[in-house]
Structure 1
Amino acid sequence: MDDDKSSASISSALLSLQDKVLRKMAVPQYVLTTSVYPREAEILKELRDAIANHPQSYSATAPDGGQFIALPLKLLNAKKTIEVGVFTGYSPLLTALQSRKMARSAIGLSFIKKANIEHKINFVKSQALPVLDKLLENQENESSFNFAFVNAYGANLKNYHERLLRLVRARGVIMYDNTLWGSTVTLSGPSSVDLTRVFAWKDTIKFNKMMVGNPRVDIPQVPPGDDG
């Protein structure tokens, strides 16, 4: 009798756990279908469809992440933005669609041309640090940007941040992708991290700790699109 009760209790616990896992997995899809996809610009949908079969499509800015990026752009009425790093061009395309004036970005230009917003983008194909340093040579660029988005990872995050603090005005927004590094920041050590990700794992954790200890910035950290 006791064994039967024990088995029933275990089965009930497993079913409850399974239900919680399934519901948790269903939440992102619910958010996408309910509030993200219906408001996603058609040109962004086309770009997302175009890269769907790319072997590294998981690295692209997720549409819910894009919606999150769009909010401060609207609240700031951002007229001058800067982006460091790009893969498919989803985020700079979104930024250019939202911004009133210009986005300085590296991007695949075909969708930009199709959207007739090429005039909003100053495309710079280069390593990021020399470009940021060049901008800072002109004092007029200091505190002139409303918004910055960094789609990068690794040891240079700290260097990008110090330069962007000078370029982005007070009460502006600097947004970083990849700060959860595909959820691997929760793992106990490098031996637990996939070999393809371990090279930036320590740098990501160091950067997060640096940001927490920086009194010059306020930090909300959220996980939209962090499934890659």
Structure 2
Amino acid sequence: MTGCVTHGWWSLSSFVPNRLETAVARANRKSFALTTSCLSDRAVTIAASDNNYGSKQVISVTPRVYDYLLTNVREPPVLRELREETATMHGSQMQVSPDQAQLLAMLVQILGAKRCIEVGVYTGYSSLAVALVLPDLGILVACERDKHSLEVAKRYYDRAGVSHKVDARHGLAADTLTSMLENGEGCSYDFAFVDAEKRMYQEYFELLLKLVRTGGVIVIDNVLWHGKVADPLVDDKKTESIRSFNRALMDDERVSISMVSVGDGMTICRKR
């Protein structure tokens, strides 16, 4: 193979053909340079030459390394079946990766979460991963506007025996979240995951911040947006929206944050 997908740096996720610089390197050429040797599917490193970064070398996740990573993900059979069915559907790229779902499930377990929200379900891979680790009396409010996708998700909730833990809501997520607040559910949820319309991220976040308790966690997907956020030549509305959202989170003292490069980038926010 002549390129690699770079996920291994905390804020970088972009395609690097041959010896071309990454989008981050182009954007910051004056401050530091990144070098790469993605000439095959072998694992390579990317190094920041600026001494302020300690010449830190981080791994570039080539297809071979990513395949290895996936062999070390504990994926329940029902999740694998859902992933394989979704792969045959239109829009299958919207499904989270197995390593993302594993991280979400672990966060729920570490948090001891009992009440969760998901904004953007698609066919249910991430919500099913969360529901599987929720206690029997736990609840996940799953918001999805596409009825067909939600029906697939509900079929797998049934197959996995977790339907009693999932409150599937068909409709616009903003309306559902607003209704939950009006019903007096503010500050009563432990965990939320957002993977929906990118231009709505700030609105979703503000609503979820009212629904999630202090010490609770909100995870936002696609914050690196295929590396586009790091490329100054990209200025479409979705990319600009995510950039703006990322900047706002950096300055938001209501939460502690950690941006990680799992999948297409996720920001984990803990409500203070």
The two structures have a TM-score, normalised by structure 1, of 0.83
Q: Contact 2:118–2:142 at 8 Å: present in 1 too?
A: yes
Q: Return the match for 1:17 from 16, 37, 48.
A: 37
Q: Contact 2:187–2:212 at 8 Å: present in 1 too?
A: yes
Q: 1:186 to 1:111 in 2, by over 3 A?
A: same
Q: Shift of the alpha carbon at 1:102? A: 1.1
For 1:135 and 1:18, the matched residues in 2 are separated by 48
> Which residue identity lines up with residue 179 of structure 1 in the other structure?
V
Q: CA RMSD in A?
A: 2.1
Q: Return the match for 1:125 from 153, 156, 170.
A: 170
Q: Which has the higher helix share?
A: 1
> Which residue of 1 is the match for residue 140 of structure 2?
103
Q: Return the match for 2:118 from 76, 83, 87.
A: 83
> What is the percent sequence identity of the aligned residues?
34
Is the counterpart of residue 204 in structure 1 residue 242 in structure 2?
yes
Is the counterpart of residue 178 in structure 1 residue 234 in structure 2?
no
Structure ID, larger Rg: 1
Q: Shift of the alpha carbon at 1:55? A: 4.0
Runs of at least 5 residues in structure 2 that lack an aligned partner in the other structure = 1-18, 20-35, 44-59, 144-149, 266-272
Q: Shift of the alpha carbon at 1:31? A: 1.3
Q: Return the match for 1:136 from 174, 181, 199.
A: 181
The two structures have a TM-score, normalised by structure 2, of 0.70
Q: Contact 1:84–1:150 at 8 Å: present in 2 too?
A: yes
> Which residue of 1 is the match for residue 75 of structure 2?
40
- 1:183 aligns to what SS in structure 2? helix
For 2:227 and 2:101, the matched residues in 1 are separated by 19
> Which residue identity lines up with residue 225 of structure 1 in the other structure?
G
For 1:165 and 1:179, the matched residues in 2 are separated by 18
Q: Return the match for 2:127 from 92, 117, 120.
A: 92
Q: Shift of the alpha carbon at 1:21? A: 6.5
Q: Which has the higher strand share?
A: 2
Is the counterpart of residue 213 in structure 1 residue 238 in structure 2?
no
For 1:97 and 1:78, the matched residues in 2 are separated by 12
- Shifted more, 55-64 versus 41-50: the winner is 55-64
- Post-superposition Cα deviations, 1:12-69, rounded to whole Å, max 9, x if no partner, equal x9xx824687313032222111x21xx1111101101111233422211110110110
Q: Contact 1:153–1:178 at 8 Å: present in 2 too?
A: no
For 1:186 and 1:22, the matched residues in 2 are separated by 25
For 2:258 and 2:40, the matched residues in 1 are separated by 26
> Which residue identity lines up with residue 88 of structure 2 in the other structure?
N
